[in-house]
Amino acid sequence: MKRRIVQILTTIFTNLYPLGWFKGRIYDGPLKHACHPGMQCYSCPSATTACPLGALQNSLAAVKENLKQGQFNIGLYVIGFIGLLGMLFGRLVCGWLCPFGFLQELIYKIPTPKFRMPRLATYGRYVLLFVLVFLMPLAFSFANADGATYPWYCKLVCPVGTSEAGIAKIFSEANLSLGFFFRLKWVILIGFALWMTVTYRAFCSAGCPLGAIYGLFNRISVFRLNVDQDKCTTCKACQRACPLDIKTYETPNHADCIRCLKCVPACKFDALHTAFGKKVNRGDAEAQGEEGNKSPESGASDV
């Protein structure tokens, strides 16, 4: 319930320009220079903040041109912003502050048969991150009028932009030329929308590069989940409570974990706790190649 309230408040406070939907224009005031912590399209008519992933791509896409002109705008602001949030909270941002994550949870409530996300599909977000967010904006030289290359993830894939900005634009402007890329993105959006109804947070797990970045911080972030090995009976109640089917008792700070914290009250033995910067967990220690205090029955990390 607490999480739901935070999600609703975050969505409201970062969409303070609802007139944009009626006027068909994007808010471009001073607040737009700040990033939203989660995925929210810069071009969403009501959005008052910028998408960090879009900002990162635009920054990287402009690096070559900026350096040519002797400017050192190489995306330090947005790298620092994402890195700082990642270091403090990890994917807590995904679970509590992301409007598109919130939307996915609402879509998942549609009564249909439900399926777990195949583990292999969760690597998709890393491929998208490397190829479309870092490699192509930095390496490809198809420049637009400003001399910058494109934010390729936004242009080719992002269902957040298609749903939050594309649909609004279609309704607000009658004579738009909808090209190949827009049709491609509609197919991707519909595909993800269907997937979201049957799999919890399908986009977060398989297609979100921002979640991939925050996930890399889960192991080292200051906010973390700790397992008290003396109390844990490996009953797996935490895994059963986890909508993402994560073995919390082994890897409480797994990169897929969005930190919805449903596992904490599910533990009847009071073995799971949230903490700021305390204790390295068993799973984390193994993954880092360190020697943790293992009990004889302790399993290997599933990362």
Partner 1 sequence: MSKKQLGLILFFTALLITGLILGDSFKVWGKAIRICLECIGIG
Interface with partner 1 (CB under 8 A) = 26, 28, 32-34, 41-43, 50, 54-55, 58-59, 62, 66, 71-73, 75-81, 83-84, 86-88, 144, 146, 148, 150-151, 154-156, 158, 161-162, 165-166, 169, 176-179, 181-182, 184-185, 220-222, 276-277
* Torsions phi, psi for 226 (to 5 deg): -120, 140
Residue nearer to partner 1 on the CB measure, 118 or 147 = 147
The total of other beta-carbon atoms located within 10 Å of residue 278's CB is: 10
CB of 249 to partner 1, least distance (A): 23
- When the beta carbons of 86 and 101 are compared against partner 1, the nearer one is 86
Sign, CA dihedral 115-123-211-131, equals: negative
Kindly state the smallest distance separating residue 195's Cβ from partner 1, in Å. Answer: 20
Q: What is the CA radius of gyration of the chain?
A: 20
Residue carrying structure tokens 């939050």: 164
Phi-psi region of 36 (alpha: psi -120 to 50; beta: other; left: phi over 0): beta
86: tokens are: 């990642």
Closest CA to 167 of 103, 213, 210: 103
In the complex with partner 1, the residue whose CB is nearer, 84 or 135, is: 84
Residue number, 55 or 117, with CB nearest to partner 1: 55
Cβ 84 to partner 1 shortest distance, Å: 4
Angle at 90 between CA 120 and CA 205, to 5 degrees: 25
Answer whether 157's CB lies under 8 Å from 207's CB. yes
Nearer to partner 1, 88 or 303 (CB): 88
Cα(298)–Cα(296) distance, rounded to whole angstroms? Answer: 6
Cβ pair 12, 102 in contact under 8 A: no
Q: How far is the CB of 69 from partner 1 (least distance, A)?
A: 10
- Least distance to partner 1, CB of residue 75, Å: 7
Residue 19 Cβ vs partner 1, minimum distance, rounded to whole Å = 17
Question: For residue 125, what are the CA distances in angstroms to 101, 131, 164, 234?
Answer: 15, 10, 20, 30
Using DSSP's 3-state secondary structure scheme, residue 99 falls into: helix
The CA–CA distances, whole Å, from 49 to 134, 150, 151, 186 equal 22, 20, 17, 24
Phi, psi of 247 (to 5 degrees): -80, 80
Least Å distance between CB 97 and partner 1? 18
Cβ proximity to partner 1, 165 vs 271, nearer residue: 165
Residue 93 or 165 having the CB closest to partner 1: 165
Residue 80 or 118 having the CB closest to partner 1: 80
> In the bound complex, what is the minimum distance in angstroms from residue 181's beta carbon to partner 1?
4
Distance CA 156, CA 145 (A): 19
